[in-house]
Structure 1
């Protein structure tokens, strides 16, 4: 519906506000603050209009029944809307009262619906005793976590509602007799359709390679189009039972006659289950003639499901019009958690159910049965009518392996011959499903369904380097493995890790064992570019376009050797595999297509607005980075993680300079030879920050230099594990901190304990109150300069409770161990302010970041930590409201800033001592003063 309404009709969103499915579940649709596309001339405007819902089903007489949970939910929705806005029951309008269409269906009577509504209110009304009769709470998303719901609602509130559809926007029902507009609740003058928008949508479809009428006609003898497992009756190409009959009763007998005594090889191809209808058709169009040239008759199952279409639609609702890049909203751990908790398991399950539904036998209400079942019956009849004349083969790509897990055994069960070969490319089927449905069917006996099995898949390193639309940073198989099955970390047939962990499959594919079964595995990319065991695919979506893989498939089907001639698959490499790997798998909405296609602008190329405050320190040009600083004094890697969060979900928490800070730190550090990683806004979740830090430190070796920079909110919450003397834990605030996912000082300490002592680890923290990162103390309110904002969040009771629940839910293995004392740590922390001060931002940047980078980029010679701290204090001046703090063990203050630790000490000059009496003072004395100040504040607070 969404694709049809937005791409075909050119509207901004799906027509209806909600959709009610046959199980009574509610699917969110159009933003509730926007007018719907309900009926021409009855859509309302930006100020007032109807609330529109649709129901899935054909409710004309003799078709689907309108009853059960679907009817109950519909009545509940009607009752709730009428009650909320104090409307009479007659405010309910059927589509058929506003147009000549029969919606909601000829079997649904308006007056009976009003009577049913009254009965619903009686059944669900709460009596005086307080107990409801038959009461139930409609919770369409009962199993979603609270923070996911809050995030979704916040995203909807942020959505741009300025764009509206024309008042006559409505599905084109072919109505020619006009519309009855008398007596309707919303009767507005028509603004006329926006033909230019429709033209643009059609142009975009053509640009994505839409097939012509001639292309579709040529595909008909080779294509079975399915929707949710049934023969498709609408869309770009329909498939009727008569079309299937023609394939097996007309086209294949003609092919047999043309073969002149040779067996006709029929290949059944199932593409990945996450593609759109149009992509499935393009895959078939691309392959059919090539298979025919190799004397193979291909039949493509184009089956439309839509897991990532649903995720793409959700991402498409993010406020990209305000300059936010969707790729900065999701990290791998966050997307895995999001996909698992926010419906991904259900949608992936629905996709799997679609494959199973295709294999369902006919029933009294569905005499055709599933599309695959109907095809299998026709196949068996053809082969039994011409015994020995047809040879069967099957190929499945990605989730196509799951489709064939039902189709191949079904065809054999219906008395079709055994399939000579079954070949999978990057199979997404679960290993337990494979072992249950397919493994027993492998062999040459009468009870077997196929004789030979070959699996093509990537090695672990390439799976981990793949991506999904530049949003998820690993292959689709890893996303399924980590997030989309009922149980996380479910073994998948196409993952090397899963194959090697299963003893049965190690024997089957001869992985590290001397002998095995009749199955082969082809690792990609392999050493050979040609032959039966060749594959050069380096991304999940590349297999069906990789000449080496496709030629190898053909050799198996044709039973040819490595050197036997075939018609080679055409090389399509007009774009890189990284661009192709996921783009061909899904029809993304326009904003996501745009962002996925455009290369990221490197941080150093980002335009930077100059400070508007004349007293502010100007940003130095990139050429101010001096060679003496930019080169390391001694070998080793230079790595950095830069985090900046402005777009917190709660509007009251949002900041305006943290993303700029992180980008500028990334730019400056890149100029000093670092390899920076950015986590910005929605991408900077608790899980993503922890994962980023651990990945940064995982393989550190002596001589490496590592930086962690954070710009965002800080706060202070109750200490739950008793390791703080004052009973309080201090925390950085990730983007999801309102859910309780605070990044505590315990978390930081636990990670920093893993830093080897010969690694130079430096932290730059620009948040309130960040004196020691682990001491964001709440001081008395301080007056702030006009136009400035403090980076601090007050710990409300709600946040404290969310924090407690989040920590309770964490496993014991993640509880914070005893940390090394502050003076035993070898890392260095520069913080934006003292414990009783506030870190301020203005003019699009934090004051600390502005001064720190001005010093870092403006010095020709390296500075030690004490010198850098002294110059920071001097830059803020004596009247400042914040004084940066250096926190490190005794003696480390003389080490060179951001340089390897070998040869680290730098003698101080008299000038250094004169300009930095505080920075060069005794660290223990400084800590004692800070603790005393902190204790006095706690004692004097009301």
Structure 2
């Protein structure tokens, strides 16, 4: 069987689902997605779109964007977000392909933790956390945050997060993985697509982890298909990326000359990151919770946290040899922090972790980089 049953109802939006959405259940295809549907995207729907829109581009190449949502997002939410954005991408002459992946328990982890709120005060009064926290250090922030980190550990948050990361890897490294099948289908039709499209990827939150492996799968398929040299990824844009900096540096290739992939990152500055409460009374965003409670190493440096990013970039006079992250994000226009004035096309207004895919300024900037021009306005939600 090609795909596992799923709760998505393709009858509501059959055309958008068939043409633009690839559903993954864990790491394999989930219904309504099938191998036949994926093949149809690259064999028929995308070539048809190219013929309709190539005249809009001076070089005749039509952009294709692969989107991967976050790991703590349900399939239903990821699917609805895709349906909101697909018409806008198409209106701007971009062919979108959304990976909507079911990350299992990870999608409900925050809800599970939220149910502990009512019990929290009683547990503090009974001294449950006395040996772990210093109540005199900062009772308004440190204690609450440290307690939530402990609770996340108790709820098996770490193993759940690890399971999600393994699913992202398996989806793009195993033969039955949805990303593997998509990359193979893309290059199996390179005769129609090579020289006619430019490939781009956008990942939100844990979507950065998914794309780190998906881009590797694309590179592997390009190497296995002589004559598909032009069918390469031109840009990767990450929104509040939840990938660790060591994993990013290990998995991603730095830009290589004029034809190399170009990177850009949009995330909250430290002030906004701290003000974003992912859980009741937790003084910090989801990225803080991931770093402090869900990653295998406490305090793991995450790419999307400004304080971690700044440390990895080193001083202003640092070099890419000393600080490898500099090769990926060489200037301010490639690293955009929320509410920080930058030049047009490098703007971000998201002030919560989940806001990026619907933030007008962010989406305008993302599309602008892909198009090389100003897109039509992204519809405010």
TM-score by length of 2: 0.81
Q: Which residue of 2 aligns with 1:424?
A: 238
Give the structure 2 partner of residue 559 of structure 1: 372
Note if 1:496 corresponds to 2:306.
yes
Alpha-carbon contact 1:481-1:489 (below 8 Å) kept: yes
Matching residue within 388, 407, 423 for 2:195: 388
Pick from 226, 229, 242 the counterpart of residue 36 of structure 2: 242
Which whole-Å CA distance do the structure 1 matches of 2:216 and 2:191 have between them? 17
- Find out whether 1:570 has 2:369 as its counterpart: no
Spell out, residue by residue over 1:519-558, the C-alpha distance to the aligned partner (whole angstroms, 9 max, x if none).
Answer: 2100111225x82111111111111111000000011000
Name the residue aligned to 1:408: 215
Partner residue of 2:276 out of 445, 449, 466? 466
Q: Note if 1:355 corresponds to 2:162.
A: no
Query: What's 2:129 paired with?
Result: none
Out of 333, 343, 350, the position equivalent to 2:156 is 343
The one-character-per-residue Cα deviations of 1:564-591 (angstroms, maximum 9, x if unpaired) are: x42110111xxxxxxxxxxxxxxxxxxx
- Secondary structure of the equivalent of 2:347? coil
| Residue ranges of structure 1 left out of the alignment (5+ in a row) | 1-57, 59-204, 319-323, 363-368, 573-942
State the Cα distance separating 1:338 from its structure 2 match: 1.9
How big is the shift at 1:304? 1.3
CA drift of 1:410 comes to: 1.4
* Distance change in 2, residues 1:506/1:345 (3 Å): farther
Alignment match, 1:443: 256
Please say if residues 274 and 308 of structure 1, whose CA atoms lie closer than 8 Å, have aligned partners that are also in contact: yes
Which of residues 93, 104, 108 in structure 2 aligns to 1:309?
A: 108
Deviation for aligned residue 1:325? 3.9
Q: C-alpha separation between the residues in 1 aligned to 2:98 and 2:287?
A: 23
What SS class does the counterpart of residue 355 from structure 1 fall into? helix
Is 1:455 paired with 2:262? no
Alignment equivalent of 1:285, drawn from 83, 86, 107? 83
**In the superposition, relative to structure 1, how do residues 356 and 466 fare at CA in structure 2: closer, same or farther (>3 Å)?**
same
Pick the aligned partner of 1:370 from 171, 177, 181.
Answer: 177
Deviation, structure 1 residue 493: 0.3
Cα distance in 2 between the residues matched to 1:293 and 1:443: 32
Contact 1:256 1:264 (C-alpha < 8 Å) held by counterparts: yes
The count of aligned residue pairs is 337
Name the structure 2 match of 1:600.
none
Is this contact kept in 2: 1:425–1:456, CA < 8 A?
Answer: yes
Cα separation, partners in 2 of 1:550 and 1:505, compared to 1, 3 Å? farther
The DSSP-based 3-state class of the residue aligned with 1:394 is: strand
Secondary structure in structure 2 of the residue aligned to 1:214: coil
Call closer, same or farther: CA 1:444–1:468 in 2, change over 3 Å: same
Q: Note closer, same or farther for the CA distance 1:506–1:252 as it changes in structure 2 (3 Å cut).
A: farther
Q: Deviations over 1:194-226 (max 9, x none)?
A: xxxxxxxxxxx9xxxx97833244322100000
Looking at structure 1, the residues matched to 155 and 163 of structure 2 have their Cα atoms a distance apart, in angstroms, of 14
Distance (Å, rounded) in 2 between the aligned partners of 1:280 and 1:474: 23
Q: CA RMSD in A?
A: 2.9
Structure-to-structure mapping, 1:132-171, within 5 angstroms:
none
Output the CA distance in 2 between the equivalents of 1:288 and 1:386. Answer: 21
Distance change in 2, residues 1:289/1:211 (3 Å):
farther
Q: Residues 464 and 216 from structure 1, CA distance in 2 versus in 1: closer, same or farther, beyond 3 angstroms?
A: farther
Relative contact order, CA 8 A, sep 6+: which one is greater?
2
Sort the Cα spacing of 1:377 and 1:506 in 2 relative to 1 into closer, same or farther, 3 A.
Answer: farther
Aligned to 2:136: none
- Indicate if the aligned counterparts of 2:71 and 2:107 stay in contact, CA closer than 8 A: no
Structure 2: distance between partners of 1:379 and 1:254: 15
Q: Aligned in 2, Cα 1:532/1:327: closer, same or farther, shift over 3 Å? A: farther
- The residue aligned with 1:582 is none
TM-score normalised to structure 1 length: 0.34
Cα deviation, residue 242, structure 1: 1.1
**Are 2:173 and 2:213, in contact at CA under 8 Å, matched by a contact in 1?**
no
Quickly say closer, same or farther: Cα 1:311–1:293, change in 2 above 3 A. Answer: closer
Shift in Å, 1:386: 3.4
| CA distance in structure 2 between the aligned counterparts of 1:542 and 1:380, rounded to whole angstroms | 33
Structure-1 residue corresponding to 2:139: none
CA distance in 1, matches of 2:339, 2:290: 22
Identify if the C-alpha distance between structure 1 residues 548 and 371 changes in structure 2 by more than 3 Å, giving closer, same or farther: same
Q: Which runs of 5+ in 2 are unaligned?
A: 2-6, 124-143, 223-227
Match of 2:46 among 228, 232, 252: 252
Aligned CA distance change for structure 1 residues 391 and 328 (closer, same or farther; 3 Å): farther
| Higher helix content, 1 or 2 | 2
Q: Offset at 1:288? A: 0.3
Aligned residue runs from structure 1 range 94-133, under 5 A: none
Q: Bigger radius of gyration, 1 or 2? A: 1
Q: Measured at CA, do residues 314 and 395 of structure 1 come closer, stay the same or move farther in structure 2, by a change above 3 Å?
A: closer
CA distance in 1, matches of 2:98, 2:318: 28
Task: Choose which of 355, 363, 367 in structure 2 pairs with 1:550.
Answer: 363
Distance of aligned partners of 1:553 and 1:508 in 2 relative to their CA distance in 1, 3 Å threshold: farther
How far did 1:312 drift? Answer: 2.3
